[in-house]
């Protein structure tokens, strides 16, 4: 089978690009030939020219990765659904319950609002939402199959897009097959935040919670360390509110956490597994965007969680997105997003009883075995075969 994959790919620094690269390699390992006709083409006009020039009759199916605030893949699927109506089209939707959430271009007079200070651009997106949702539903109904990484996300997407149940497929986020590594010594307890470092990830909540946990257990101050690891590209950490990294360092000092925090910025991909396995537990304090709440509920997952499973490490996570589903196997615990006291309580319990991380790690490793990329790729290959064998209901 030969497919065309429409997706961001490295060196783009996004979680979906990393996912797509592992996905591409795993499919090729299963004997699926994968072409990437839009790879490296970011300009919309250049993408359109490539859509016109590429021979789509060369492929059996087109699969796209939708999400991350990108529009090119959505627009390419729209083009193909119009010009090649017999070509099976499938997509993995990373941010259900919507496909793209907002339009690439607004129409007049909403374009005038985009030039004004906040919250006018957000108001423009909200006013355009009925049209955006109409366009999302129209494309969703043209897709042969849509894939979500969580069951909750699939159900929310199905309802919002008005799809039949058989059109929506759940295939969990794949992960690498890694050699098992024992937990490091339990003292000090090593906590890890892993992911892109920018506003909205709840890192401030984690720092505040750690300070509160240590205030309740002052004698255990030297028994814990927190590592902040992940991408810190300038476009992520510099914004109108100032330098986010410097703001975090200042907050660490204000909370009296100096000496307890380690930094591993711009972590190379080759060092991710070793870094995770040098820690006991991952902490993901994500908060859902209040602005996006006007448009819907994001019910996807996180690539960081798949790394935790692959490395056999448990997680403490907020209940944002569909994270509660991802730790339902006993590989960690959740707390209500934004509830710093609840997060502090979980951290305090670990300080008192660090042995809990062993059970979480065992459950995570079991999930990791079930979700290795070759197994995930086989599920996709089967879905592709079914999509090519019959049209959408």
**Which residues of the chain fall below pLDDT 50?**
234-238, 390-393
Q: What is the pTM of this model?
A: 0.92
- CB proximity list for 377: less than 8 A, separation 6 or greater: 23, 26, 27, 29, 30, 32, 174
Output the pLDDT for position 112.
79
- Residue 266 is given by DSSP the state T
* Domains of the chain with CATH codes: 2-174+372-389 (3.40.50.2000), 189-370 (3.40.50.2000)
Cα–Cα distance between 57 and 80 in angstroms, integer? 11
Output the pLDDT for position 315.
98
- CB proximity list for 62: less than 8 A, separation 6 or greater: 3, 4, 6, 56, 77, 80, 87, 88, 89, 90
List the 145-148 sheet strands across, edge first: 33-35, 2-6, 61-66, 89-93, 145-148, 168-170
Output the pLDDT for position 242.
65
Output the pLDDT for position 168.
98
Output the pLDDT for position 292.
80
Q: Which of 205, 195, 231, 156 is nearest to 337 (CA)?
A: 205
Q: Tens digits of per-residue pLDDT, 353-387?
A: 999 999 999 999 999 999 999 999 999 999 999 99
Q: Which of 171, 13, 1 is nearest to 93 (CA)?
A: 171
Output the pLDDT for position 332.
97
Provide the residue count of the chain: 393
Output the pLDDT for position 232.
76
Using N-to-C axis directions, what is the helix angle for 129-142 and 72-83, rounded to 10°?
A: 50
Output the pLDDT for position 152.
98
Output the pLDDT for position 381.
97
| CB contact at 8 A, 309 and 175 | yes
Instruction: Tell me the CA distances in angstroms from 283 to 80, 192, 276, 311, one per residue in order.
Output: 41, 6, 11, 14
Output the pLDDT for position 109.
83
């Amino acid at each position: 089978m030969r497919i065309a994959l429409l997706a961001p790919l490295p060196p783009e620094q996004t979680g979906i690009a990393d996912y797509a690269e592992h996905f591409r390699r795993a499919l090729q390992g299963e004997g699926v030939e994968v072409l990437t006709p839009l790879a490296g083409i970011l300009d919309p006009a250049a993408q359109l020219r490539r859509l016109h020039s590429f021979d789509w009759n060369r492929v059996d199916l087109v699969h796209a990765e939708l999400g991350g605030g990108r529009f090119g893949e959505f627009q390419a699927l729209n083009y193909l659904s119009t010009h090649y109506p017999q070509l099976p089209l499938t997509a993995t939707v990373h941010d259900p319950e919507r496909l793209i959430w907002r339009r690439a271009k607004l129409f007049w007079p909403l374009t005038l609002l985009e030039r004004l200070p906040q919250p006018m651009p957000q108001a423009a997106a909200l006013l355009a939402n009925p049209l955006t949702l109409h366009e999302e539903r129209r494309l969703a109904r043209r897709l042969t199959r849509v894939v979500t990484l969580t069951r909750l996300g699939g159900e929310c997407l199905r309802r919002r897009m008005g799809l039949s149940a058989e059109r929506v497929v759940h295939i969990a986020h794949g992960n690498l097959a890694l050699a098992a590594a024992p937990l490091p010594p339990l003292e000090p307890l090593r906590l890890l935040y892993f992911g892109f470092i920018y506003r909205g990830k709840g890192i401030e909540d984690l720092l505040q919670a750690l300070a509160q946990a240590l205030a309740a257990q002052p004698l255990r101050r030297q028994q814990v360390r927190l590592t902040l690891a992940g991408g810190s590209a300038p476009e992520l950490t510099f914004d109108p509110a100032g330098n986010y990294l410097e703001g975090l360092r200042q907050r660490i000092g204000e909370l009296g956490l100096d000496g307890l925090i380690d930094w591993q910025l711009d972590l190379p991909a080759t060092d991710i597994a070793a870094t995770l396995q040098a820690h006991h537990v991952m902490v993901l304090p994500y908060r859902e965007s209040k602005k996006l709440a006007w448009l819907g509920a994001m019910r996807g997952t996180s690539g960081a969680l798949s790394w935790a499973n692959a490395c056999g490490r448990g997680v403490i996570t907020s209940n944002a997105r569909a994270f509660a589903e991802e730790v339902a196997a006993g590989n960690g615990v959740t707390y209500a997003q934004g509830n710093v006291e609840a997060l502090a309580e979980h951290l305090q319990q670990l300080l008192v009883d660090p042995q809990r991380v062993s059970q979480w790690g065992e459950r995570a490793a079991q999930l990791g075995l079930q979700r290795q990329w070759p197994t995930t790729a086989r599920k996709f290959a089967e879905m592709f075969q079914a999509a090519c064998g019959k049209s959408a209901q």
